[in-house]
């Protein structure tokens, strides 16, 4: 079989991801970025054999089988649709759609295409989350009632190196990112482990705006949003988006009628617990252990990013292409849009004091009609769009003039 030809749109995160595809025997044939400096740096790294584009419409004409969408967090859907129209497969980072209307458009375009679409959500493939899913699949937990996922990523407000790499202009999406939106790292692993899909959501945020002489242009003073969902199997999820409290950790727990499993907060270790009267035969009530990969490509996995999950996620996508099949829940397009809908509608719940929202299914025409013109967004867009809803629960919050001046100085703006 000929090498699968890959194009990369977004050369920051996209360049990191590309290494795994090369290890999988793919060929990177073209790159595209709107940021001239990043594009130039990436071009030097890839070498003369890779075509370089600053315009997506020209890039998409290049001969390639699949595109890695690693552009701005909230702007994947329009470019995925262009890929669908050309029969190009899509590997899409983070949320699939930045607005509800884009969710409608994305699914309708997908259903007219022959493209494979995969949400590039990697956290389910971390070693502890793979073990949590294995335990759930064993059935020993009984009926799943409750699960929680926390993606907690605090940062030093004085760290200018982070700004230069990830947050490098005032209207950057990170400066307007509601706490509910970056949800796939907290929700994806428990959707994967349990098989459940959210159907109704409510959320609340906790505000603590950054104070003092720090370089920031962020309009988000919320430090955490707690999102609660009712799911199609009767279970309940409690998740964060991207939280900023206490110490950094990724933490997941699944509880059933007979037992519960979790990773020990901030570690890869597993705690699996049953009651004495519900434990499986020849098992202990309390089990603490470090899981193993049990994977034929363990060495390659250990060399990749995000605890090995980047390689496995890329491998899943290539397997789908080779076998001409869509990925399974929660990496398929319907799961991706469901997660994005949770991200968007839970923020509206925050702004409305916890009012619950039903999560639409855009295979249903009535749900499509309800949201087909809903383009409300907290973000600026590369096409010149401006925010039309607040990004913070304290709707008039903004950084001080002094903070913005320090931000500009640190970035030489």
Concatenated DSSP letters of 254-319: EEESSEEEEEPTTSS-EEEEE-TTTSPTT--SEEEE------TTHHHHHTSTGGGHHHHHHHHHHH
* Residue 245 burial by Cβ neighbours in a 10 Å radius (0-12, 13-18, 19+): middle
- Length of the chain equals 413
Residues 87 and 161 in one domain: no
Would residue 413 count as lying in a domain? no
Return d(Cα 80, Cα 224) in angstroms, integer: 30
* pLDDT (tens digit per residue) in 23-58: 999 999 999 999 999 999 999 999 899 999 999 999
Q: Considering its fold, how many domains does the chain have in total?
A: 2
Residues 79 and 138 in one domain: no
Task: Read off the pLDDT band of 413 (50, 70, 90).
Answer: confident
pLDDT at 91: 98
Q: What is the mean pLDDT of residues 322-348?
A: 98
Q: Is the dihedral of CA 186, 188, 194, 197 positive or negative?
A: positive
pLDDT at 106: 98
Residues 62 and 194 in one domain: no
Q: What is the mean pLDDT of residues 232-258?
A: 96
Residues 245 and 351 in one domain: yes
Higher pLDDT, 370 or 2: 370
Whether the pTM exceeds 0.85: the reply is yes
Average pLDDT, the chain: 96
Nearest to 367 by CA among 392, 335, 338, 405: 338
Residue 345 zone, left/alpha/beta (φ > 0; ψ -120 to 50; rest):
alpha
Residues 215 and 267 in one domain: yes
Would residue 131 count as lying in a domain? yes
Give the CATH number, domain containing residue 116.
3.40.50.720
Residues 111 and 150 in one domain: no
Return d(Cα 111, Cα 364) in angstroms, integer: 13
Ranges assigned E (strand) in 84-143: 89-92, 117-119
Would residue 254 count as lying in a domain? yes
pLDDT at 94: 85
Paired residues of 238 in beta bridges:
148, 228
When mean pLDDT is compared across 1-15, 58-72, 229-243, 311-325, the lowest value belongs to 1-15
Count of H helices and E strands in the chain?
A: 13, 15
Return d(Cα 107, Cα 119) in angstroms, integer: 13
Residues 141 and 104 in one domain: no
Q: What is the mean pLDDT of residues 253-271?
A: 97
Would residue 310 count as lying in a domain? no
Return d(Cα 385, Cα 79) in angstroms, integer: 16
* Phi and psi, residue 151, nearest 5°: -110, 100
Residue 141, pLDDT > 80, answer yes
Q: What is the mean pLDDT of residues 109-121?
A: 98
Nearest to 127 by CA among 309, 314, 327, 304: 309
Would residue 33 count as lying in a domain? yes
Residues 241 and 343 in one domain: yes
Return d(Cα 11, Cα 42) in angstroms, integer: 6
Would residue 384 count as lying in a domain? no
Sheet holding 27-32, edge to edge: 51-53, 27-32, 5-9, 66-69, 89-92, 117-119
Residues 280 and 353 in one domain: yes
Rg of the chain taking only CA atoms, in angstroms: 21
What is the distance, to the nearest Å, from the Cα of residue 60 to the centroid of all Cα atoms in its chain? 24
Nearest to 47 by CA among 80, 75, 15, 4: 15
Return d(Cα 391, Cα 393) in angstroms, integer: 7
Task: Read off the pLDDT band of 1 (50, 70, 90).
Answer: low
Would residue 37 count as lying in a domain? yes
Ranges assigned E (strand) in 70-123: 89-92, 117-119
Return d(Cα 300, Cα 32) in angstroms, integer: 27
Domain that holds residue 250: 124-297+332-371
Give the CATH number, domain containing residue 274.
3.30.360.10
Question: Nearest 10 degrees: CA dihedral of 3, 5, 11, 14?
Answer: -60
């Amino acid at each position: 079989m000929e090498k699968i030809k890959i194009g990369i749109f977004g050369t920051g995160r996209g360049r990191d991801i590309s290494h795994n595809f090369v290890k999988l025997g793919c060929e990177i044939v073209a790159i595209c970025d709107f940021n001239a400096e990043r594009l130039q740096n990436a071009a030097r790294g890839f070498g003369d054999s890779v075509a370089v584009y600053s315009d997506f419409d020209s890039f998409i004409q290049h001969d390639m089988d699949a595109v890695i969408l690693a552009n701005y967090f909230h702007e994947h859907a329009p470019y995925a649709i262009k890929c669908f129209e050309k029969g190009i497969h899509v590997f899409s980072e983070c949320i699939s759609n930045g607005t509800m209307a884009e969710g409608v458009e994305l699914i309708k375009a997908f259903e007219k295409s022959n493209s494979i679409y995969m949400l590039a959500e990697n956290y389910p493939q971390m070693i502890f989350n793979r073990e949590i899913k294995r335990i759930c699949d064993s059935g020993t937990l009984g009926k799943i009632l409750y699960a929680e996922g926390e993606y907690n990523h605090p940062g030093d407000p004085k760290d200018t190196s982070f700004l230069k790499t990830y947050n490098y202009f005032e209207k950057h999406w990170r400066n307007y990112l509601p706490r509910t939106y970056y949800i796939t790292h907290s929700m994806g692993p428990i959707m994967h482990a349990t098989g459940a899909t959210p159907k109704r959501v409510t959320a609340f945020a906790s505000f603590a705006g950054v104070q003092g002489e720090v370089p920031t242009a962020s309009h988000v003073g919320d430090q955490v949003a707690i999102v609660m969902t009712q799911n199609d199997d009767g279970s309940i999820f409690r998740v964060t988006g991207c939280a900023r409290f206490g110490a950094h950790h990724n933490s997941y727990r699944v509880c059933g009628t007979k037992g519960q499993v979790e990773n020990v907060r901030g570690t890869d270790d597993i705690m699996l617990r049953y009651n004495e009267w519900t434990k499986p035969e020849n098992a202990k009530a309390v089990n603490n252990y470090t899981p193993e990969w049990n994977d034929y490509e363990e060495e390659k996995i250990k060399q990749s990013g995000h605890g090995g999950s980047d390689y496995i996620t890329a491998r899943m996508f290539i397997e789908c292409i080779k076998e001409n099949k869509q990925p399974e829940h929660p990496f398929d397009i319907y799961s991706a849009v469901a997660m994005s809908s949770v991200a968007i509608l839970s923020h509206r719940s925050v702004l409305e004091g916890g009012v619950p929202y039903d999560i639409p299914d855009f295979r249903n025409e009535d749900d499509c009609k309800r949201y087909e013109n809903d383009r409300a967004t907290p973000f600026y867009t590369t096409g010149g769009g401006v925010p039309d809803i607040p990004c913070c629960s304290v709707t008039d919050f903004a950084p001080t003039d002094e903070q913005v001046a320090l931000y500009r100085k640190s970035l030489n703006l």
